[in-house]
Amino acid sequence: MSTSARRLLPPFLLIAAIVVWWFWLADSSGEISESPNASPTEGVAGEEWFVEHVIDGDTVVASHGGVEETVRFIGIDTPERDECGYGEAREELARMVDGRTVTLVPGAETDRDDYGRLLRYVEVDGVDVGLRLIENGYAAEVFDYRTGQPHDREDEYIAADSASPDLCPGWG
């Protein structure tokens, strides 16, 4: 073997090992997607997801089949950090879903928001969590501001928002 061939052999073997490992990993997990914008959640509507943790009153991190997603609730808004009601809304959502299995239901015009979060209605044992948050005064109904289009449950959310108590007067 020539000297130049001997020098090229170790990098070649390293690259070959990485390629083999990559294909083995992709084949065994089935979860590597071609694009960071690809949605591994397409086609899993109605499947159960496990809520890993609550970020705020309208956003959670959930996992399913080795995939972890940040999920933004469709049709509701809750106070932001440092606003009246933030802690209460976050705590109520955590009480309802943290560490539990939920069903994610599509219903927005787009699958994701501008931050890459999956947009879904969230249900626990058939109960619409977003609607329950509105009914109890922890959230306000919001239309789909990204498209200007109503969401699938807008009429029900508006009615609940009109009848709900104000956790923080002037908010929402």
Annotated active-site positions, please? 72, 80, 117
Helix, strand or coil, per DSSP, at residue 89? helix
Q: How far apart are CA 113 and CA 18, in angstroms?
A: 35
The Cα–Cα gap between 168 and 9 comes to: 69
The phi and psi torsions of 13 (rounded to 5 degrees) equal -65, -40
Asked whether the beta carbons of 51 and 100 are under 8 A apart, the reply is yes
Query: Nearest to residue 151, comparing CAs of 109, 103, 97?
Result: 109
